[in-house]
Chain A
């Protein structure tokens, strides 16, 4: 029983290898997908409302039959500045700026998602 739990040399090498791979994986993945996004994509009730560059400061007022939301893009970050939804969770969420991050206003079905530059999901432009 005792000899089974003893670490052999090859076990240590294997463990080291796995750790090395894991570290490389984290580095590579963070380089490729965790980079700073470039577009804020806003959807309202599953329909795309608009795409906005994070490089341009601006305020976007969304007014639907359900309510109003004010979204701010400033210094490359997106914030839900104001909303007349009952819970105001969306307003309390921190600003977002990285690819894949999102702010959701559930009552108004407003979703802001950061996507990397448009060339990434577009194959060609005419």
Chain B
């Protein structure tokens, strides 16, 4: 009798786990001003997830621009200081992406994003005079930084750094490293910053869909990937309307205004989540032609999917075989 009861229980447990299909651990985290989901497979999954959460909270504390006690806020109010390892890495990476993209990426735009109201949702359209004055406070050439000592100084009054353009990408890289050191596969999304670590339990690649700002029914397309970071920047993510005009949150560092690049979104696929995060913004600012040119020159580092405001979908060669879509799309050339 007892044995049969045990058998029955075992069967039910087995059945339930069969139906649910996976022995994955999942964690949902609200941090870095976004919603994050972390899914992990493997013996150490729970362990990896806990370490990941700890690390994410740590980074949030260091990098937040809204928390007055964060390292970044303290640096911004002092105008100089010595950076921690995380901040020094992010500063060096920001400067390198900025140089490489000819200024299309700029981590020093905080005075401008504040003025437009994207930091606190008090939206406002600054006039030309204000913008020109603010652009001086966003001049990245006025940053003195020594990557060996971590010492930094802003040479212009009012300057402020915001790692928001790469922070989530960096956090995703850090979580990926934690997963790997725990021998855990999984997929994480830090507010759309994806890291597909390893492959699915059944050995298949992960399926990552690209949002479609113009349809609630269909994704722009799907990427089948293993061991890749994927990040999208789109004008639809944050915007406001004033006097019938739409202003989105991706500012062109050259004009100080929302980039008018005829792109709706840029998706970057790379082994480097931090780079992918920064480039998704930079290539959005560049516009399709320059972005394709840039990608061709750096095709070893990343691939991309571009969505233009007239509905075109362009996919770079290196990822074309892993991309599928219900829409017409073409190779970016």
| Segment among A18-26, A74-82, A88-96 that sits at the interface with chain B | A18-26
With A51-B217, A53-B216 as contacts: A21 and B8 at CB distance below 8 Å: yes
Residue in A122, A123, A126 whose beta carbon sits within 8 Å of that of B267 in the complex: A126
What residues on B are CB-neighbors of A52 within 8 Å?
A: 217
Residue in B4, B216, B217 whose beta carbon sits within 8 Å of that of A13 in the complex: B4
Residue in A17, A28, A56, A121 whose beta carbon sits within 8 Å of that of B16 in the complex: A28
Interface residues of A in 77-126 (CB under 8 A from B): 118, 121-126
Nearest residue in B to A51 (C-beta to C-beta)?
B218
CB of A125 within 8 A of CB of B192, answer yes
Residue in B4, B193, B207, B216 whose beta carbon sits within 8 Å of that of A122 in the complex: B207
A50 CA to B328 CA, complexed, in Å: 11
CB of A124 within 8 A of CB of B11, answer no
What is the interface size of chain A, counting residues whose CB is below 8 A from a CB of the partner?
26
A48 CA to B189 CA, complexed, in Å: 27
A56 CA to B216 CA, complexed, in Å: 11
What residues on B are CB-neighbors of A124 within 8 Å?
A: 37, 187-189, 194, 196, 206-209, 230
With A17-B7, A49-B326 as contacts: A24 and B219 at CB distance below 8 Å: no
A121 CA to B202 CA, complexed, in Å: 13
What residues on A are CB-neighbors of B218 within 8 Å?
A: 50-51
Residue in A14, A50, A126 whose beta carbon sits within 8 Å of that of B194 in the complex: A126
Interface residues of A in 3-61 (CB under 8 A from B): 10, 13-14, 17, 20-21, 24-25, 28-29, 32, 39, 48-53, 56
Closest Cβ–Cβ distance, residue A54 to chain B (whole Å): 10
With A21-B11, A28-B16 as contacts: A126 and B187 at CB distance below 8 Å: no
What residues on B are CB-neighbors of A121 within 8 Å?
A: 207
With A14-B4, A29-B19 as contacts: A125 and B211 at CB distance below 8 Å: yes
With A14-B4, A20-B8, A49-B326 as contacts: A122 and B209 at CB distance below 8 Å: yes
B210 at the interface (CB under 8 A from A): yes
A62 CA to B129 CA, complexed, in Å: 55
B74 at the interface (CB under 8 A from A): no
Count CB-based A-B contacts (< 8 Å).
78
A29 CA to B12 CA, complexed, in Å: 12
Residue in A29, A51, A122, A125 whose beta carbon sits within 8 Å of that of B326 in the complex: A51
CB of A123 within 8 A of CB of B200, answer yes
What residues on B are CB-neighbors of A14 within 8 Å?
A: 4
Nearest residue in A to B192 (C-beta to C-beta)?
A126
Closest Cβ–Cβ distance, residue A115 to chain B (whole Å): 12
Nearest residue in B to A24 (C-beta to C-beta)?
B12
CB of A123 within 8 A of CB of B207, answer yes
A62 CA to B39 CA, complexed, in Å: 39
Closest Cβ–Cβ distance, residue B306 to chain A (whole Å): 14
B1 at the interface (CB under 8 A from A): yes
What residues on B are CB-neighbors of A13 within 8 Å?
A: 1, 4
A49 CA to B328 CA, complexed, in Å: 11
B232 at the interface (CB under 8 A from A): yes
Residue in A49, A50, A56, A126 whose beta carbon sits within 8 Å of that of B232 in the complex: A126
Q: Given known contacts A14-B4, A20-B8, A53-B216, what 11 new A-B pairs fall within 8 Å (CB)?
A: A21-B12, A25-B15, A48-B326, A122-B207, A122-B219, A123-B39, A123-B187, A124-B209, A125-B192, A126-B209, A126-B231
* Chain B contact residues, CB within 8 Å of chain A: 1, 4, 7-8, 11-12, 15-16, 19, 37, 39, 187-189, 192-194, 196, 200, 206-211, 216-219, 222, 230-232, 267, 324, 326
The 8 nearest A-B residue pairs measured at CB = A126-B232, A122-B209, A123-B206, A124-B189, A126-B192, A125-B209, A124-B194, A53-B217
Q: List 28 A-B contacts (CB under 8 A).
A: A13-B1, A17-B7, A20-B8, A21-B11, A25-B15, A28-B16, A28-B19, A29-B19, A48-B326, A53-B217, A122-B209, A122-B222, A123-B196, A123-B206, A124-B187, A124-B188, A124-B208, A124-B209, A124-B230, A125-B192, A125-B208, A125-B211, A125-B219, A126-B193, A126-B208, A126-B209, A126-B210, A126-B267
